[in-house]
Structure 1
């Protein structure tokens, strides 16, 4: 690196962009009110069940424990936040509830962590959905690892808000590799350091990613599995047919499969990578078989077991929540699903009730789609890019296909959440960056600091929108909202200010570092061009003797 100042500047910029992505997720973790993220009470409950030896009941046979029930009540979860897109009749406002003082918040212990166990085979479909922990419809890997983390950190027995923040920060740790893997993938495909920095910053343009991955959710581990899978598939399709790469790829997919069924949509990407790579047929087939075998051994067996024992790939773990209705046709279904999926990918905060403006998420979706299409049509490594983008495309189609049976049978549309696409975040990061390579060419170097700055502003805008939506009631000042935030948070007001200052400082530093890298890269390009010109100039200035001429003496 001492011999390549541009590479040193690039690595400093990448470290700061990675830190910014991580810290923005951490700020979401302390900004979002307790349990105000999809299914967060049930996710926490399943972690506590394993932490206290409660096992993994069958789907639909697990109940929410007393500790989480008390925590939900103390967090005023049965209220509507002020930014909700539609107020519900009879539901009190969140801003009308005084925060429970820190000293009065409940502590999770062995006495209250576990619900009374139900006899195996007991149906809970007649119960209130809030009483049921549907997470046992998934495999237990995420929850087991999170439970171990609570024990290692000494927080298995602690105040519930401290546990919640600790588990949110555990998920943020799973986010750290994403920008690094995105940057490494771009460099392998395009050898463009400016594009790598843009790819690393991509998730800042998706505020929902910070919000969801800064909550307690098994989607955090699915995201990491999907990112590792995508990176390794790119290695394969660009010629890496080593057995150890196949084993690593199978392990990455297997970890996802032992977390959530969404990881199964990575399997077509793995197959496409081995089909399209140049190389001996035997090595390609052997690699695909090895990767598939490892994936099955690590996590795929769970779903075969479900099919053999339960008669279905994924059982339903939650009671019906909606009354039957008459389906309104295919066009209505597509319009609602595509809109809901797009909105909740870019920004539906809380329990999807705090919405970004339509113009914002539609504009973002169009830009990402166009840049990814440009990457496939005109970018570098088009075949590898197409394989990579197969992952989010398969996830998107999978969500639609999964939603259709309930709609056709009951007229309701459920399970439409953009977080289900987060396993494809790396692919979208890389596709967008390679689209910019095709669009801007060498000019991307000068644009990189502006793009990283824009990503930071997008993240800040999302955080501000969430802050107002969660805490600022009608007619209240920002100071009132900030005081409410501090009252509900396990952190003090000065600590929250310090977190905000750190995030803003790192954001500025990331932009400055990217600008310095752009300057160092330009200087390196100039030096290379000058060096290349030296032999030509020397040859032009050397004396020459015409052929056949001699001395006059």
Structure 2
């Protein structure tokens, strides 16, 4: 595959993911995402150089544009799903500055300094939409890189299907907000995908290039850098992802060559430096501190362990779609569509899979439950049980991604079965994305339980709702079509596909002249 061809694919994927994120940014009222007021205030402060403001507990006092002084940390419609977002006053700019409290001023500042740039060129609601737009671009870039890496997998279409299930509506809901959650998840998705394919290529092609010109290497390293500075817990997820990838595909020779690569030797110090700076920040700013909760201080350990497990295991809906300020879960039938798609992807992938792959997937599923439950149990007397499902997504997205990335086995080699899996997964993706947007829009415009339409106390997005729905539906359908057409692993002979689903298939996707693999092409 030529570099220009890969660049075109990245650009198409970037534009599609930008549509998803920007649609949610416009479909959600200002400060309509959990903790967005606090994150917006800190972003505006960080862009003005205030990253070490005085703090007391979780409260940090910063000097920001005066309009932020009128913003409540919790808007009027939060936790009231039947109340439209129209109860909140318009967020408009005004001259001057004010000292304002934010509860996230002790978080690592990199994301906030970036997103806050939007507040330097505008004020009021426009500034918030610009900060959201910058978040959308960052998330779209990382997800586009993951999509291009998935096209290099053994089964590109199945890998893209796994990517579709990993990017749940919750990911795009947060990508359209001022919040570091979605960039953290997107960086994890990119590292899972690019790292897996890179290690797989090193095992299959001992002479593969490991120069900086290799996209898989660049994407893996850049995703790791983003993860080191995203959120306080990102370092934990980074270690877990790297450990899982090394166990799955990290042969001794592959790791040895990887560590001796000049590109890796030059970049690892950067990753270590950013990780070290975040670790120092966590210690010096007490970045793991949460809002205190004394309601469980006297709860015995055993009942606390049961409660912790219950809060974590019921968080699946929060990973898929839980809108508003945790007040609007999507209908159970929509969550069931996600489970249906995941089960359809998992059944053929797990049948006949090597024991090591099964053990890693099982350990990953267990860790997605036990790690959050343990963290809560260690701190429940001080902070209660405040874990949300989205916090686990950087780790949990590895499950659908790996189900799509694992190579074909004898059980997955039947063409008819392969096509049915893809049809179910892409149908689930389109249904999930569109139904979730409709549900969240109705909650914001009219309130859950009301009829569709805007009432006197309702809220309306800055563009027509019909345009938002049509845009997201169109982007979902384009993603589905491109996934179904991406049937050949990059590097196959021109005009043919690999025997990944029991048959050789043609593909409209271009390949490098001479049928060389992308790794071989990079070495030329």
TM-score (norm 1): 0.70
Q: 1:48 to 1:305 in 2, by over 3 A?
A: closer
After TM superposition, list the pairs within 5 Å mapping 1:133-148 onto structure 2: 133-148=102-117
> Unpaired segments of 5 or more residues in structure 2?
203-207, 507-524
- Distance apart, 1:263 and its partner CA: 2.0
Distance 1:483 1:78 in 2: 12
1:55 aligns with 2:51: yes
Task: Provide the aligned length of Structure 1 versus Structure 2.
Answer: 477
Q: 1:399 to 1:530 in 2, by over 3 A?
A: closer
After TM superposition, list the pairs within 5 Å mapping 1:532-543 onto structure 2: none
Match of 1:500 in 2: 469
Q: 1:80 to 1:176 in 2, by over 3 A?
A: closer
1:418 aligns with 2:392: no
SS at match of 1:299: helix
Post-superposition Cα deviations, 1:340-398, rounded to whole Å, max 9, x if no partner, equal 42221112211211113456546745863784586466459x86897799777655543
| Aligned 8 A contact 1:24 1:503 in 2 | yes
Q: 1:362 to 1:237 in 2, by over 3 A?
A: same
1:78 aligns with 2:40: no
Match of 2:440 in 1: 466
- Distance apart, 1:513 and its partner CA: 5.0
- Distance apart, 1:202 and its partner CA: 2.4
| Aligned 8 A contact 1:375 1:434 in 2 | no
Match of 2:35 in 1: 39
Distance 1:482 1:100 in 2: 14
Match of 1:198 in 2: 161
After TM superposition, list the pairs within 5 Å mapping 1:306-345 onto structure 2: 306-307=282-283, 309=284, 314-316=287-289, 318-320=291-293, 322=295, 324-327=297-300, 329=303, 332-345=306-319
Q: 1:317 to 1:82 in 2, by over 3 A?
A: closer
Match of 1:260 in 2: 231
After TM superposition, list the pairs within 5 Å mapping 1:5-404 onto structure 2: 19-57=15-53, 58=55, 60-63=58-61, 67-72=67-72, 77-80=75-78, 83=81, 93-94=83-84, 100=89, 105-107=91-93, 110-112=96-98, 114-115=99-100, 132-151=101-120, 154-155=121-122, 158-159=123-124, 161-190=125-154, 192-203=155-166, 206-234=168-196, 235-236=198-199, 238-239=201-202, 242=210, 244=212, 249=220, 252-265=223-236, 266-271=238-243, 273=245, 276-279=250-253, 283=257, 293-304=269-280, 306-307=282-283, 309=284, 314-316=287-289, 318-320=291-293, 322=295, 324-327=297-300, 329=303, 332-358=306-332, 360-361=334-335, 364-365=338-339, 368=342, 371=345, 375=349, 378-379=352-353, 394=367, 396-404=369-377
- Distance apart, 1:170 and its partner CA: 1.6
| Aligned 8 A contact 2:227 2:234 in 1 | yes
Q: 1:410 to 1:504 in 2, by over 3 A?
A: closer
Distance 2:448 2:322 in 1: 20
Q: 1:134 to 1:366 in 2, by over 3 A?
A: farther
Distance 2:303 2:253 in 1: 48
Q: 1:509 to 1:281 in 2, by over 3 A?
A: closer
Post-superposition Cα deviations, 1:115-150, rounded to whole Å, max 9, x if no partner, equal 3xxxxxxxxxxxxxxxx4232332110011112354
- Distance apart, 1:213 and its partner CA: 1.9
> Unpaired segments of 5 or more residues in structure 1?
3-7, 85-92, 116-131, 532-553
| Aligned 8 A contact 1:18 1:200 in 2 | no
Distance 2:71 2:383 in 1: 34
| Aligned 8 A contact 2:345 2:425 in 1 | no
SS at match of 2:105: helix
Distance 1:435 1:79 in 2: 44
| Aligned 8 A contact 2:161 2:425 in 1 | yes
- Distance apart, 1:247 and its partner CA: 8.3
Distance 2:346 2:316 in 1: 16
Post-superposition Cα deviations, 1:453-480, rounded to whole Å, max 9, x if no partner, equal 3311111111122123333247743123
Q: 1:170 to 1:186 in 2, by over 3 A?
A: same
Distance 1:508 1:248 in 2: 26
Distance 1:405 1:529 in 2: 53
Post-superposition Cα deviations, 1:205-244, rounded to whole Å, max 9, x if no partner, equal x221221222111113322332333244321354278475
TM-score (norm 2): 0.74
| Aligned 8 A contact 1:372 1:432 in 2 | yes
- Distance apart, 1:483 and its partner CA: 8.9
- Distance apart, 1:445 and its partner CA: 4.1
More helix, by proportion:
1
